[in-house]
A and B are shown apart, each in its own frame.
Chain A
Amino acid sequence: EAGVVQSPRYKIIEKKQPVAFWCNPISGHNTLYWYRQNLGQGPELLIRYENEEAVDDSQLPKDRFSAERLKGVDSTLKIQPAELGDSAVYLCASSLWLGTLNNEQFFGPGTRLTVL
């Protein structure tokens, strides 16, 4: 079974440029998460989707970040414009939410963003 797929794996841009990340979750997983991991830190949740609906986006900087999950499958995370402080690894994870309490989250390899 294929895992969570993310692209690109690496991205280098200049500040003020836009950037987008793509995530394809594990087939059949209805819940998708975007995390940001700064250097030397643990992942921090940016947004969580249940199917197409963003159910928790309280940590998403909405002035420059946006996300969408069309048709409840693939998702894109966009930053426009990027700032130096956005340099981080952006992780996508997915899980199968069946109403049980402890569904495992499976992570993709991440996209490492460097803003110059």
Chain B
Amino acid sequence: DQQVKQNSPSLSVQEGRISILNCDYTNSMFDYFLWYKKYPAEGPTFLISISSIKDKNEDGRFTVFLNKSAKHLSLHIVPSQPGDSAVYFCAAKNQGGSEKLVFGKGTKLTVNP
């Protein structure tokens, strides 16, 4: 049973527009959420995170929104740039438990010039 779900395998947007990547989770014990970005032949790199005590966290062009009641989070990239083209993984953990991150399957973002 997948505890973290990214239902869109791919997303294509035009340069300069907004990219919205979605993530749903089922485990109510999760209280910390992260987004990782992965380029081909490289390991995932940390992008942005959010604690369950917040509903929004912003870092430059990247904003993560958390809706706890819906068990849903989203990553907004504005404006999107061609260099943002990568696979984006949503991950979650229980801060009071182990350091185990549970990842979604990823969404491949393509930003077209």
Interfacial residues, chain A to chain B (CB-CB below 8 A): 4, 31, 33, 40-45, 48, 55-56, 91, 93, 95, 97, 101-110
Contact = CB atoms under 8 A, between A and B. Distances in A.
B4 A109 contact: no
B89 interface: yes
Nearest to B41: A109
Interface string B90-102: 0100010011110
A104 B42 contact: no
Residues of B contacting A: mostly: loop
Contacts, number: 55
Contact of B43 (A41, A93, A95, A101): A93
A4 B43 contact: yes
B49 A102 contact: yes
Interface string B25-52: 0000000100010000111111001010
A40 B95 CA distance: 27
Contacts of A110: 43
A109 B99 contact: no
B46 A42 contact: no
Contacts of A101: 32, 95
